[in-house]
Structure 1
Amino acid sequence: MYTAKAGTQPVWDEKGKILATVQYTYYTRDNITDLARRPLLISFNGGPGSASVWMELAYTGPKLLHIDDEGYPLQPYGVKDNPYSILDVADIIYVNPINTGYSRILDEKADRATFFGTNADIRYLAEWLNTFVTRHNRWSSPKYLIGESYGTTRVSGLALELQNAQWMYLNGVMLVSPTDLGISRDGAIEKALRLPYFAATAWYHKKLSADLQSRSLESLLEEVEKYTLDIFLPAVARGYSLPKADRERIVQQVAAYSALPIAVVEQNNLDISTSLFWKELRRGDGYTIGRLDSRYLGIDMREAGERPDYNAELTSWLHSFTPAINHYFWNDLGYRTDVKYNMFGPVHPWDRSDDRTGLSLRQAMAANPYLHLMVQSGYFDGATDYFNAKYNMWQMDPSGKLASRMRFKAYKSGHMMYLRKDDLIQATNDIRQFINETLPKDNQAAKYE
């Protein structure tokens, strides 16, 4: 049994004036007597400008979206009990930053820059969380942050901001489909790191040659990752200085791994954009593939062109999530309001300058021996792909001194890997295991030996 509370909590300025209100849903397991041993999971989604609906109704919470086993919409819309919820191991708060969900700016004169920027977002939410933890008597609880997509930028920055500005220390951070976390990858790196995602997606759509297609996905990607780092990346860096014979061999191999025509790889000088890949892979079948989850198919007005007309996966998700969250708040939670639930809210312009969130997370981990990291990625996510997520970890901690406190999990799905039932089961088990394994044992001191 559990208790669900949907509520709001203000955001104040330094003089105590209310500027805005942040809406949240707080789930607590009943009959817990020792909060000092009961973990609290603080959950954010991304955008920026996206509500927390996605993980609340389809991943960790006690209710589960009515969709099929692969994640596609079903009618009637709504939710059912989630037998895989991680409420057995942690209480959860889902937070909707300003202008997402039911959260809104209340003071018309409030400076939007207070809320809409990488570092501003982190600062006000850290203050907000301090108040929430105090009001709900959770200071003694082990604390975890989980963020999805841009939410990974948010929680990576929050790990250090909570620690340095609020003196609140964490046990774990979970990054679901992480962004670049402010870690630069321009030029050859950016171009080369896409190849493993291309290969994974081509494998899913059965577009590879027979010898590659017959391989397990994991075996194939191990080969493609090695090729990417050892051969493809140096070749891209060489540019026109790459010998002609070498260039021809690499064009052919990239075409083989990506299932794209040799001419397309050649004409683009080994620099295949993701948007072109989404348009090209199934062009001959009359379909495009999804950005955030490339298992999804779309239909464009014209088969010609270099990018799809729309995001096939996002329209599918909004189809099922939007009626479900509105019905859930009104009927199940009894949260009655005429304020529109913003699946995506107006938060632009968003100040992305001075994004050092990946390095902030590393610093928080270095300063807190209790703090662990888990990354979860879908092989078929073309927006925040799994190989770039690995690259984040390598560059956050190039010395490898924190590697024993980092773990990486991948799934045969996309950006929201939990929409696929098999991956929901595995991913929630991975969270459960992560929390259980990162809770300190009795009398285990936070220190380096």
Structure 2
Amino acid sequence: MKSIALSLAFAFAMSAAPLLAEDAAGPPKAKAAEDIPPPQVSVTKASGTFGGQRVAFTATAGETYLKAEDGTPRAAIFSTAYVKDGKDPNRPVTFLFNGGPGSGSVWLHMGAFGPKRVAIPSDAKDDGAPPFPIVDNPDSLLDVTDIVFIDPVGTGFSHALGKTDPKDFWGVTKDAESIAEFIRIWLNENGRWNAPKFLGGESYGTTRSAAVLNQLEGRYNDVSMNGVILISTILDFAAGADTPGNEMTHILNLPSMAATALFHGKAQSAGTPAQFADEARQWAIGPYAAALLKGSALGADERTQVRKELARFTGLSETYLEQADLRVTPDRFYKELLRDRGLTVGRLDSRYTGKDYDNAGEGPDNDPSFYGIDGGYTAAINSYARETLKFQTNRSYVTIGSVGPWDWRLGDGRDSDVYMNVAPYIGRGLRENSGLRIFVGQGYYDFATPFFAAEYSLSRTGIPKDRVEFHYYEAGHMMYVRDEDRMKLSKDIRQFIRSR
């Protein structure tokens, strides 16, 4: 999920007078190392039934300090670890995080794989107002693996310490280095170096997964992984960039447009959404790709035929498609598809619909598939962390925060402000670790990280395809918000872990 311009205020009770006094005196001085308190950690015991098995576990919610070479604490990484009771050094452990960059792990934690989840509507309806039910989650993976949810610096309760600038952690490589350091510390402290290990993320968390894999396995002091779990994948940022002149974005978005048009009754097909999406996929890499690459040299007869088929797949009128020169960006699609109904469709999950201020304009006011779920998740993680996990803090949990400017350089000789692609890290990991496997989970209704773009990025040269498996879901970016898909995702990943 790309960064979303949200600002989250800390829950400090401050009067106007102290604020004015602080402004006059300048910003508060950074704490010296000796003023930094020890990490906060809360340990609780619980049990639940997951995957049909009763599991007793210990939940550790707390801070891990990343330190400079001289021992000075630089950052507090907040994590929540669920470890099955009864020491088993060979039990699998899975490290999970979300994306953004700037997103805490709340979405996977409280939506998919934690022992508790927030119960919001499963049918692409708005989550409404509190109280939001926090219920047992039988789809958690705790029957097959211990789980550690990680919040990178600037997300969740994680933050820089002392005089450290948080920007020291804000970048593809910087962020990956900090998460890899945290994982090494966790393995040390929990005696799990020889345990089967899995790494996973959602959205930018898949980018992070590839970069962290490179940090763990691409160094002399290797941490070998058994599997990487990619949920709503974004690895090649150029292929899907919605910029003028980039024809690949139109090709890669078309199958998602077709599935969305079919879902909302704007396209017709005798087949399933998966079959219609595949039909669009094949046409996109054939006649449509050929037409786009011909540009202004495209002949009139061929243009007419392509425009007709494009209308059939997208549900948009031929007149509109002609005006768009056969190239419809996602933002325009969200607004145009259901304009006649006065509705827009979602970006993260195009099953969702929203109502804009008015029906004019090229793009929607906001993403109904984000504001349709964010309230429930924010309330759930703050309530659950404090009341159930007993983690006490005066910080607000940052579900999605500002972590900019983000440094997109890879530092491996392939630096570019335009073509940022971490898929080669996956290829290298597969070539150099014969036991490594890749799980890819994609939603048909996801425009933030379209499923065809994920397929494209992982089918390039140097990526062995025999250990990459794809799974598809009839929801969007966060497919687990749909009950049927959460159960399917859990079953699919459970099998992936078991078959190591």
Decide: shared fold, TM above 0.5: yes
Which residue of 2 is the match for residue 442 of structure 1? none
Structure 1: which 5+ runs fail to align?
439-449
Residues 421, 389 of structure 1: CA spacing in aligned structure 2 closer, same or farther, 3 A cutoff? Answer: same
State how far apart, in whole Å, the 2-side matches of 1:9 and 1:185 are. 36
Question: More deviation in 369-378 or 109-118?
Answer: 109-118
For residues 335 and 126 of structure 1, what CA distance do their matches in structure 2 show? 24
Aligned to 2:338: 282
Aligned residue in 2 for 1:393: 458
Specify the code of the residue in structure 2 equivalent to 1:330: R
Partner of 2:222: 167
Q: Distance in 1 between matches of 2:151 and 2:124?
A: 23
Aligned with 1:153 (options 207, 214, 224):
207
Match of 2:443 among 338, 357, 378: 378
Q: Report SS of the residue matched to 1:173.
A: strand
Counterpart residue number, 1:431 = 493
Letter in 2 for 1:191: H
* Cα distance in 1 for residues equivalent to 2:190 and 2:164: 27
Aligned partner of 1:70 in structure 2 is 123
Percentage of pairs with the same residue? 35
2:112 to 59, 75, 88: 59
Question: Is 1:43 equivalent to 2:108 in the alignment?
Answer: no
Report the CA distance shift for 1:184/1:381 in structure 2 as closer, same or farther (over 3 A): closer
The residue identity in structure 2 corresponding to 1:153 is T
Change in Cα spacing, 1:145 to 1:71, as seen in structure 2 (3 Å) is farther
Give the drift of 1:193.
1.4
Which string of whole-angstrom CA distances, capped at 9 and with x for unpartnered residues, describes residues 6-28 of structure 1? 01001212332211101000001
Q: Name the residue aligned to 2:68.
A: 13
**Residues 1:176 and 2:231 are matched in the alignment:** yes
Equivalent of residue 238 in structure 1, options 271, 280, 294: 294
Q: Residue 122 of structure 1 is aligned with which of 160, 163, 176?
A: 176
Alignment of 1:62-101 (within 5 A): 62-70=115-123, 72=125, 73=127, 75-101=130-156
The Cα offsets for residues 362-381 of structure 1, whole Å up to 9 and x where unpaired, read as 10111000100010010000
Matched-pair contact (CA < 8 Å) for 2:94–2:146 = yes
Q: Is the 8 A contact 1:102 1:342 kept in 2?
A: yes
2:407 — aligned with what?
A: 351
Q: Please point out which of 259, 263, 282 is paired with 1:204.
A: 263
Moved more, 72-81 or 330-339: 72-81
Cα deviations across residues 59-115 of structure 1 (Å, max 9, x unaligned)? 1111121223336426531411101111000000000000111011112x3244420
Q: Match of 2:12?
A: none
Contact kept in structure 2, 1:78 and 1:328, CA below 8 Å: no
SS in 2 for 1:335: coil
Give CA deviations for 1:166-202 in whole Å, capped at 9, x if unaligned: 4100000011001134564662222221110100001
Deviations 1:111-139 (A, max 9, x none): 44420111111112111211111111111
Q: Is the 8 A contact 1:275 1:308 kept in 2?
A: yes
CA offset digits 1:293-351 (Å, max 9, x no partner): 01111111110111100111111111211111111011111111111111112211111
Kept in 2: contact 1:114–1:124 (CA 8 A): no
Given the alignment, which residue of 383, 401, 425 partners 1:327? Answer: 383
**Aligned amino acid, residue 495 of structure 2:** Q
Does the aligned pair in 2 maintain the 1:149–1:176 contact within 8 Å? yes
Shift of 1:356: 4.0
| CA RMSD after TM alignment | 1.5
In the alignment, the residues of structure 2 paired with residue 297 and residue 256 of structure 1 have an alpha-carbon distance, to the nearest angstrom, of 21
Give, in whole Å, the separation in 2 of the partners of 1:305 and 1:258.
Answer: 19
Distance 1:35 1:77 in 2: 37
Once residues 23 and 270 of structure 1 are traced to their aligned partners in structure 2, the CA distance between those partners, rounded to angstroms, is 47
Q: Structure 1: which 4+ aligned runs deviate by more than 4 Å?
A: 182-186
- Contact kept in structure 2, 1:78 and 1:323, CA below 8 Å: no
